[in-house]
Structure 1
């Protein structure tokens, strides 16, 4: 299948998926979300054992496309979009393959949740990550609550969500948000990862992954549903409207707790 906002390249038992809305810092609009869902299902139903994910251009992904959010402000497309996001995350988390995300530049919001759904998360030494939904009066989606709690525990996860902090690579690694730091081009790192993983007993690795997935999949689905419900409620608040207006006007928001 031909894609316009992503690239999917298969190489024997491995595949590379590249986010490719370069001029938008790979922000995820409706088309990209739909193409990601299709591509991930294609990989999950194939004989691919290794999936590496990265972004083209200057960043991994700036998150959800604010323009998409504004165009669906009447909520008519909200549940359809969230259903697609839920499908993307559950497919990526449960696929019978070892998945690796390579973050460079920035991974923010939904883009960060997407990266965290992988088995290995690798961060370029000059890159930054942020779960910054709070800045527009929203909560994480894409399973952000699930993955943050697993990696850094509930207490730190809440603080990171509430602060919307932009975290540098050193702190992200120290906290356990990511597994490794790297230097250089993520595309070159992908080739090295494929070589390394191909020397491992990949079927045994996948078997262990699927044991954990079977235990945790329902919890992930429940959190995705809760995020959908709470996110919808937050979209109706004055704080969210102020957050979006401030983003567009490039100023600091003035929140009032309602």
Structure 2
């Protein structure tokens, strides 16, 4: 199948999924979300046992496309977007394959949530990593609460969410948000990891993954539903309107807590 915003390269039971909106730093718009939902459902139903995810160009993903947020301001459009996000995250988290994300540049907001849905998260040394929804008066979605709590525990997860700051890959590694920081070309690193994992008993690894994902799937679904509910509330706040205006006008936001 041909996609407009992503690219899937398959070789036997191995596949690489590239986010491919290079001119927008792979920000996730309505079309990309729809294509990701369809692609990941197809991959999950295929013979793929090893899936890598990365971005074309200079970034993994700058997060949700702001124009998408603004053009889907009504509740119906918002719900369609959130349903696609839910399908993407559940497909990736429960996929009967070992999944690895390679953060080859900025990974922010929804882009970071998407990366964290993979079994392993590797980041290039110069990558910038941020769960930065708070900076426009929103909360993490895409299961961001679920994945950060898994990796950090509730208390540290809240601090990361509330601060919304950009981290280097070394800082994210020290915090426990990613699993490895690497130097050099992402494609070369991808090939090294591929060879290493292909020499491992993938069927056994996937079986362990499926035990955990089956145990936790319901909690993930509940978290995604709560994020949708609360995100809709946040989109109606003065702080969100101010956060978006400040972003577009390239100035500091002045929040009032309402």
With the shorter chain as reference, the TM-score category is: over 0.9
1:75 positional shift: 3.1
In the alignment, the residues of structure 1 paired with residue 215 and residue 109 of structure 2 have an alpha-carbon distance, to the nearest angstrom, of: 26
Unaligned runs of 5+ in 1: none
Question: In the alignment, what sits opposite 2:71?
Answer: 71
In the alignment, the residues of structure 1 paired with residue 234 and residue 187 of structure 2 have an alpha-carbon distance, to the nearest angstrom, of: 37
Question: In the alignment, what sits opposite 1:252?
Answer: 252
For 1:9-20, what aligned pairs fall within 5 Å after superposition? 9-20=9-20
1:56 equivalent to 2:56? Answer: yes
For 1:71-220, what aligned pairs fall within 5 Å after superposition? 71-220=71-220
Query: What is the alpha-carbon root mean square deviation over aligned residues?
Result: 0.7
1:187 positional shift: 1.8
Question: In the alignment, what sits opposite 1:233?
Answer: 233
1:128 positional shift: 1.4
How many correspondences in the alignment?
A: 258
User: For residues 111-149 of structure 1, what are the alpha-carbon distances to aligned partners after superposition, in whole Å with 9 as ceiling and x for unaligned?
Assistant: 000000000100111111000000000000000000000
Q: TM-score, normalised by structure 1?
A: 0.99
| 8 A contact 1:54–1:187 mirrored in 2 | no
1:42 positional shift: 1.0
SS in 2 for 1:76: helix
User: For residues 220-243 of structure 1, what are the alpha-carbon distances to aligned partners after superposition, in whole Å with 9 as ceiling and x for unaligned?
Assistant: 000000000000000000000000
In the alignment, the residues of structure 2 paired with residue 115 and residue 183 of structure 1 have an alpha-carbon distance, to the nearest angstrom, of: 19
Q: Which runs of 4+ in 1 moved over 3 A?
A: none
